[in-house]
Amino acid sequence: MQTIHVGLIGLGTVGTGVVQILQQQADLIAGRLGARLVLKRVATRHPERARAVQLPAAQLTGDAMEVLQDPEIAIVVELIGGYEPARTYLLTALQQGKHVVTANKALLARHGRELFQTATALRRDIGFEASVGGGIPIIRTIKEGFVANQFLSISCIINGTTNYILSKMSDQGQDFQDVLREAQALGYAEADPSFDVDGIDAAQKIALLASLAFGSWVPSEAIYTEGITGVSQLDIAYARELGYRVKLLAMAKMAGSHLDVRVHPALVAADSWLANINGVYNAISLRGDKVGRNMLIGRGAGALPTGSAVVGDVVDVARNILHDSSGRVPPQAYQDHSLQDVPLQDMDEVVCKYYLRFQVADQPRVLAAIAGILGEHAISLESVLQKGREHVPGAPVSVVMMTHEARERSIRKALLAIATLPTILGKTMRLRVEETEEE
Amino acid sequence: MQTIHVGLIGLGTVGTGVVQILQQQADLIAGRLGARLVLKRVATRHPERARAVQLPAAQLTGDAMEVLQDPEIAIVVELIGGYEPARTYLLTALQQGKHVVTANKALLARHGRELFQTATALRRDIGFEASVGGGIPIIRTIKEGFVANQFLSISCIINGTTNYILSKMSDQGQDFQDVLREAQALGYAEADPSFDVDGIDAAQKIALLASLAFGSWVPSEAIYTEGITGVSQLDIAYARELGYRVKLLAMAKMAGSHLDVRVHPALVAADSWLANINGVYNAISLRGDKVGRNMLIGRGAGALPTGSAVVGDVVDVARNILHDSSGRVPPQAYQDHSLQDVPLQDMDEVVCKYYLRFQVADQPRVLAAIAGILGEHAISLESVLQKGREHVPGAPVSVVMMTHEARERSIRKALLAIATLPTILGKTMRLRVEETEEE
């Protein structure tokens, strides 16, 4: 039976998972693939981590070049994360004639185009299933399973940290800061959580998914991105009372001749599929013009789920090596000449329902003043929620309004005008409502 | 740009969908694949159906051999259903050097081994994503996405007709027969519904999924199969009261050295993912030893969702044609020499919780007698539900018991003994409870 040699750069959480999977599933994979995958060399700056996975010292190196220049290694797996030297390593591997597999969504979001073009030009494969949604086979589904579809929309819960935090806030009535500390203690959130809680991670992932689905490169920095730090316990409770849950959604859809791509917390109906994805699970809801709506759910992170996706890619690349069919599926799902440049929609043009929570003085005619300004901007109301007067006299009262569909620009202008009212005593909370009904 | 010619046999619901997709998405698919798919010839016994999809008469034929023997056609799509002549057509196509795509789960359940072996021997591809779960990319996920995993279990709602019926019975309190008539009128159930409501369709599908996941051919006739005709409104209402929904589940899991594969109605916790899959949606929950639990949800039937899967397979086969890599992924997910023969577990050995509904005489000590017999068979109770006495004196009373985990054999024997009690006035309903908690 033929042997295919694999090299690994990076022995962190996912790297360790990949080593374990390659060791434990060697026979299983050989029985399915028809060739043996052999992990020949692992480059790490932390050789002590090799003990946990029983890697002999001879397989270890502190120098990534020993992996990149090993003529026997056919597939290089990059799991160090970050932009550099990861980018240089992957480019070098491709130039050395190797195929590559990575889980590095940050790198792909920034340098994906360069990496994809290099791989295509050199007729080498680049696998990156593990970069979005951990073990969920979403890249494969977009590029291959739903290849016969024009994509209409993608809506996902794609960041485990924020979903864990929002789930806990919702289930246990805790505040953001308390849950965040708990998540950090459990290892579900980083010491510096901004990458996750500010929505940057989700933006990088939806940028990549949208680029594949719509065949137009979406720069993640251009995406409207709003995190969850502003979501309060109060908003979660009001949303619940109105029949909604608050989730950090990453979305992409065609809006006429523009692509509407954004990341922000949103209210989703309590009985919708996405509302019931809790804790560390990720879910990706896809709508294709032929297949209709599909949803994929799974663990969005972790050594073994992500490792499963990495090794799945390694096997995919290995099948191409065995059949001399590298480049069989183009990296960005489209042939180069079919890629387009679809402009992103301006956030001001977005149309949806809105949840607005005002902090107002407890006086007559306050509601009328707010509703009046909304009306001037052609924003009509679906419902209004004002709580009883069990509060300290003189302190602000919360008034929650759900609007009918309105344009973001109108909401923005109306809220600017409302902020000048003397009866408005604090910052107004504005959350978008996403309808994801199951048809 | 290269052209790949496709032939189609069968112009029913799915066939019509496939023609529409190939026509409408021609440019989109060419941009992704890098070659044009051209539908050259369609064989149908109902040429009048061609009008709906604007097929010129010259492309139509009443003779399948004109498709099978056309030297220009590289891929034959079989969508006539049934065993013969579908089997002969597919074998002939393979022998003529063509690749094949089919949505025919009944044929694959019965003759899959022969078809797979023929395709492998001739180095031809056989695509069958559309045979299970409509547009859901489940075959691809088992064979490719999760290739690095030992599968632990598959639990699915995989028959749209029964899920529609049970959802309606649950939501609207209607009886089986009424909902069935409604489903027939809407086209969700066949005039002869037995194939669906008796669980045969689900058994054929889970047989196929289990064969791929576990690398052991599972004959669908050997699977324990129980349909939903015995499920009454009363059971659905009691289940709801106990915090459960009733679903027709198809399951496969390793149980020691045996494969536990079965189809039957089951109680699933109301807050579990599967409980909330309603109407015509299908869902497949998979557990891999590395990836953990994943679930895929989508439309399990229909011209376009199923057509999407068929055309996805055609593109997959076309990529292999373009790269001369046919046979790249073996049909049954394993290389031939790695396939095994894992015996099926005897139903008597199954262990789970049970829902039991007894119809008893309204007399003292009846409960004690039933519980006594259950105790003699080492079956202990988790809860007992007996409704108030608002009934006709002398008429039977329903008593519902939920057991702790017990072995099917013990339950069977205990129920036989209980049936001999003079106070038992009707057939006892026995439903299994499946725990599918989200970890």
CATH number at residue A252: 3.30.360.10
What is the residue range of B109's domain?
3-135+303-338
Cβ distance of A147 and B325 shorter than 8 Å: no
Cβ neighbours of residue A244 closer than 8 Å, sequence gap 6 or more: A267, A268, A269, A270, A275, A355, A433
Same domain as B287, residue B180:
yes
A334 found inside a domain: yes
B140 found inside a domain: no
Report the candidate in B261, B287, B311, B244 with the shortest Cα–Cα distance to residue B438. B287
Same domain as B188, residue B124:
no
Q: Which of A98, A105, A168, A205 is catalytic?
A: A205
Same domain as A254, residue A156:
yes
Same domain as B294, residue B252:
yes
Domain count, chain B: 3
Contacts of A297 in chain B (CB under 8 A): 273, 294-297
B115 found inside a domain: yes
Cβ distance of A276 and B281 shorter than 8 Å: no
What's the order of all strands across the beta sheet hosting A99-102?
A60-61, A36-43, A3-9, A73-78, A99-102, A126-127
The residue of B120, B144, B306, B317 whose CB has the most chain A CBs within 10 angstroms, and thus the best one to mutate to test that interface, is B144
A319 found inside a domain: yes
Report the candidate in B15, B81, B83, B1 with the shortest Cα–Cα distance to residue B46. B15
Identify the band that residue A51 occupies on the pLDDT scale cut at 50, 70 and 90. confident
B74 found inside a domain: yes
- Across the interface, of A299, A312, A328, the residue whose CB is closest to B148 is A312
Distance of CA A302 to the CA centre of its chain: 15
Chain B, window 318-347: residues with a beta carbon less than 8 angstroms from a chain A beta carbon = 319-320, 322-325, 327-330, 333-335, 337-338
**Is the Cβ of B123 closer than 8 Å to some Cβ of chain A?**
no
**B82 DSSP 8-state letter:** S
- CATH assignment at residue A106: 3.40.50.720
Same domain as B310, residue B180:
no
Q: How far apart are the CA of B45 and the nearest CA of chain A, in angstroms?
A: 26
Which of A269, A299, A329 marks a domain boundary?
A: A299
B46 found inside a domain: yes
Same domain as A265, residue A156:
yes
Distance of CA A121 to the CA centre of its chain: 28
The structure tokens listed for B181 are: 């008539």
Q: Which residue has the tokens 């005593």?
A: A425
User: What is the predicted pLDDT for the residue at A206?
Assistant: 98
Same domain as A267, residue A183:
yes
Mark A274-295 as b/e (b = at least 16 C-beta within 10 Å).
Answer: bbbbbebbbbbbbbbbbbbbbb
**Is the Cβ of A380 closer than 8 Å to some Cβ of chain B?**
no
Contact B88, B20 (CB under 8 A): no
φ, ψ for residue A400, nearest 5 deg: -110, 130
Mark B320-349 as b/e (b = at least 16 C-beta within 10 Å).
Answer: bbbbebbbbbbbbbbbeebbeebebbeeee
Contacts of A30 in chain B (CB under 8 A): 338
Same domain as B318, residue B283:
no
- CATH assignment at residue A353: 3.30.70.260
| Beta-bridge partner residues of B259 | B254, B344
**Is the Cβ of A293 closer than 8 Å to some Cβ of chain B?**
yes
In degrees, to the nearest 5, what angle opens at C-alpha B323 toward C-alphas A115 and A5? 60
Same domain as A94, residue A67:
yes
Tally of CB atoms within 10 A around A184: 15
Cβ distance of A311 and B29 shorter than 8 Å: no
Contact A295, A273 (CB under 8 A): yes
B439 found inside a domain: no
Same domain as B325, residue B396:
no
| Beta-bridge partner residues of B267 | B246, B433
Same domain as A150, residue A48:
no
- Across the interface, of A21, A281, A299, the residue whose CB is closest to B148 is A21
| Tens of each residue's pLDDT in chain B, 439 residues | 899 999 999 999 999 999 999 999 999 999 999 999 999 999 999 888 888 888 988 899 999 999 999 999 999 999 999 999 999 999 999 999 999 999 999 999 999 999 999 999 999 999 999 999 999 999 999 999 999 999 999 999 999 999 999 999 999 999 999 999 998 998 888 888 999 999 999 999 999 999 999 999 999 999 999 999 999 999 999 999 999 999 999 999 999 999 999 999 999 999 888 998 988 899 999 999 999 999 999 999 899 999 999 999 999 999 999 999 999 999 999 999 999 999 999 999 999 999 999 999 888 788 999 999 999 999 999 999 887 555 677 778 899 999 999 999 999 999 999 999 999 999 999 999 998 655 4
Same domain as A163, residue A92:
no
User: What is the predicted pLDDT for the residue at A75?
Assistant: 98
Pairing of strands A3-9, A73-78: parallel
Chain B, window 383-422: residues with a beta carbon less than 8 angstroms from a chain A beta carbon = none
User: What is the predicted pLDDT for the residue at A47?
Assistant: 86
User: What is the predicted pLDDT for the residue at A364?
Assistant: 79
**Is the Cβ of B302 closer than 8 Å to some Cβ of chain A?**
yes
Cβ distance of B308 and A298 shorter than 8 Å: no
